[in-house]
Structure 1
């Protein structure tokens, strides 16, 4: 199928955006892995300090014990959000007859022969545009979860620090 310059430029731009979104998503996943490492280390440190004879092991009183568990909960929730970022996800499963052929989860439904024919005849811009919107939604959700994870980790660490100093 012959494409005019406007469509060709649009397809080229769409592929560049696709590559950028793939790169950004990978960086978001790396940030989530970093956050999870910090949050896991903080939880391990808190567990070590909660043993008998250590600072958190000697807490008494409603506010001190409640603050301790609040801090642990916030750190645990932060870690759970970081894990949620790196769990593979998509925007639903297409029917095997779907016209989507950019995402590997969709490609697995195609036979090589049908895919070759479809690629030769396809107007790629609508397919790429649809995939870009889906990828952007996924990347934005991942981005927000990393932000929330880090904010909760800071809040949990702050609460635990206050409890450790005053409890």
Structure 2
């Protein structure tokens, strides 16, 4: 279909659409890429944090049980909830933007297709 494109204008419309679609794909990939912290940072923080799964790997079950009984959980939980909501919000915005870029790219590719 696009092999009949002639001229710089029609080809640039196709390449612009392709760029938008690829940018949308990159944003979609960023949504599903896990947000993990470095092992060294997790080890340092694990002694006072026990909500995030990255910290929990450094705990043994008996020590974790004691910490959950003795320490105030609310500040740690509140901190983790705020951090997770920021990550979720950023990923939500990436999804929104990927949809917009994919739609715009699709329109450009469609225009290039009907211009042949």
TM-score normalised according to structure 2 size? 0.90
2:20 aligned with 1:74, yes or no? yes
CA distance in 1, matches of 2:58, 2:25: 35
* 1:16 corresponds to: none
Q: Runs of 5+ in structure 1 lacking a partner?
A: 1-54
- Structure 1 residues 18-167: aligned runs within 5 Å: 55-90=1-36, 93-94=41-42, 95-167=44-116
CA distance in 2, matches of 1:141, 1:90: 15
Query: Residue 91 of structure 1: CA displacement?
Result: 6.0
- RMSD of equivalent CA atoms: 1.5
- Note if contact 1:68-1:159 (Cα within 8 Å) is conserved in structure 2: yes
CA distance in 1, matches of 2:27, 2:89: 14
Query: Residue 99 of structure 1: CA displacement?
Result: 1.1
Decide which moves more: 117-126 or 93-102.
93-102
Q: Runs of 5+ in structure 2 lacking a partner?
A: none
- Note if contact 1:96-1:110 (Cα within 8 Å) is conserved in structure 2: no
Deviations 1:61-109 (A, max 9, x none): 1111111111111111101110110011146643154311111111001
- Structure with the bigger RCO (C-alpha within 8 Å, sep 6+) is 2
* 1:3 corresponds to: none
SS of structure 1 residue aligned to 2:86: helix
TM-score normalised according to structure 1 size? 0.63
